[in-house]
């Protein structure tokens, strides 16, 4: 039996999971929530993680009913991500690895996401649509490695949603994307937004500045904030599905895995 503990803190969440032979024994988390209209800053996020990491660690061990001597390896997110939060969490991982005298394994953030999702879903050879606050990539496994088939050429989809939420002054609780989704459910009319697919790549910045430039005019009568959320979702999601489909056509893969955070 192999028991591993993993530390992740590359963005606004700190999480520690314990896994035994593919079974998730515990996975406690804390999220750093910022006030409405603000994004999370690296140093404040790092302080949040520092304040919670030891509690989360204790919780992870307690829930899993595992003691350090039963653990075989310590894993942590090596990157990519925000520097300060990453370091705060990596320091703890390194410390416990030395304290407990266990090997330490740095994990690429993107691969962590994909492998976790494969484990949970049982997907074998999926085309991965990897979408989150800072990432938008279509990835498939080919020639013995994960390869990026398509990606955003400017901002990530999550970032785009966050920025629309800020423009519309939506709350960050529980997350900007969630609140956009709730608004979108009540959208009635489709606003024609730039739909930018270039081969297998997408671009969102044009869509966002298009909205930014016209927002006041739209809200003065033509469209509601709900319409704008609805249209952003329809347009952006259609772009993502289309590029994922293209990658699947190219690799012949039959499964799609949608992975976020």
Partner 1 sequence: MKSPQLLKQGAEARLYRTTFCGRPAIVKERFKKTYRHPELDDAITNDRIKAEARALVRCRKLGVRAPVVYQVDLPRRRIVMQDLPECSTVREAICRLSAAQGADCEPLLALAGRLGRLLATLHAAGLVHGDLTTSNLLVDDQLEHITVIDFGLSVADGGAEELAVDLYVLERAVLSTHPQSGPFTEHVYTAYEQQWSGARAVLDKLHQVRMRGRKRLMLG
Chain residues in the site for partner 1 (CB under 8 A): 10-12, 79-82, 109-110, 132-135, 142-143, 147-149, 151, 153, 156, 158, 190, 192, 195, 197-201, 234-235, 238, 241-242, 245-246, 248-251, 260-261
204 touches 134 (CB < 8 A): no
Least distance in angstroms from the C-beta of 27 to partner 1: 17
Q: Work out how close the CB of 66 gets to partner 1 at its nearest, in angstroms, rounded to a whole number.
A: 28
CA angle 157/145/203 to nearest 5° reads 20
If DSSP codes are grouped into helix, strand and coil, which group holds residue 242?
Answer: helix
Q: How far is it, in rounded angstroms, from Cα 129 to Cα 171?
A: 26
Cα separation of 162 and 128, whole Å? 22
Nearer to partner 1, 61 or 156 (CB): 156
Please report how close the Cβ of residue 102 comes to partner 1 at its closest, in angstroms.
27
Question: Most distant CA pair in the chain: distance in Å?
Answer: 65
Nearer to partner 1 by Cβ, of 26 and 132: the residue is 132
Question: Among residues 52 and 246, whose Cβ is nearest to partner 1?
Answer: 246
Q: Which is nearer to partner 1, 24 or 249 (CB)?
A: 249
Residue pair 186/229 in contact by the 8 Å Cβ criterion:
no
CA 1 to chain centre: 30
- Minimum distance from CB of 198 to partner 1 (Å)? 6
Closest separation between CB of residue 234 and partner 1, Å?
Answer: 5
């Amino acid at each position: 039996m192999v028991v591993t503990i993993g530390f992740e803190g590359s963005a606004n969440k700190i999480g520690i999971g314990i896994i035994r032979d593919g079974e998730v024994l515990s996975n406690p988390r804390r999220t750093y929530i910022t006030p409405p209209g603000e994004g999370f800053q690296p140093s404040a996020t790092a302080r949040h993680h520092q304040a919670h990491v030891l509690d989360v660690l204790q919780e992870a061990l307690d829930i899993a009913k595992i003691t350090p001597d039963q653990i075989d390896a310590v894993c942590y997110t090596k990157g990519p991500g925000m520097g300060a939060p990453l370091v705060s969490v990596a320091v703890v991982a390194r410390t416990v690895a030395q304290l407990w005298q266990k090997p330490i394994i740095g994990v690429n953030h993107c691969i962590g996401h994909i492998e976790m999702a494969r484990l949970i879903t049982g997907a074998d050879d999926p085309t991965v649509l990897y979408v989150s606050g800072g990432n938008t990539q279509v990835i498939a496994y080919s020639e013995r490695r994960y390869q990026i088939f398509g990606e955003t050429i400017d901002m990530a989809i999550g970032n785009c949603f966050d920025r629309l939420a800020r423009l519309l002054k939506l709350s960050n609780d529980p997350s900007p994307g969630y609140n956009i989704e709730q608004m979108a459910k009540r959208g009635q009319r489709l606003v024609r937004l730039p739909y930018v697919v270039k081969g297998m790549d997408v671009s969102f910045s044009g869509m966002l500045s298009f909205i930014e430039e016209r927002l006041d005019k739209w809200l003065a009568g033509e469209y509601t904030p709900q319409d704008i959320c609805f249209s952003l979702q329809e347009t952006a999601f259609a772009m993502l599905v289309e590029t994922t489909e293209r990658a699947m056509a190219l690799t012949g893969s039959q499964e799609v895995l949608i992975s976020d955070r």
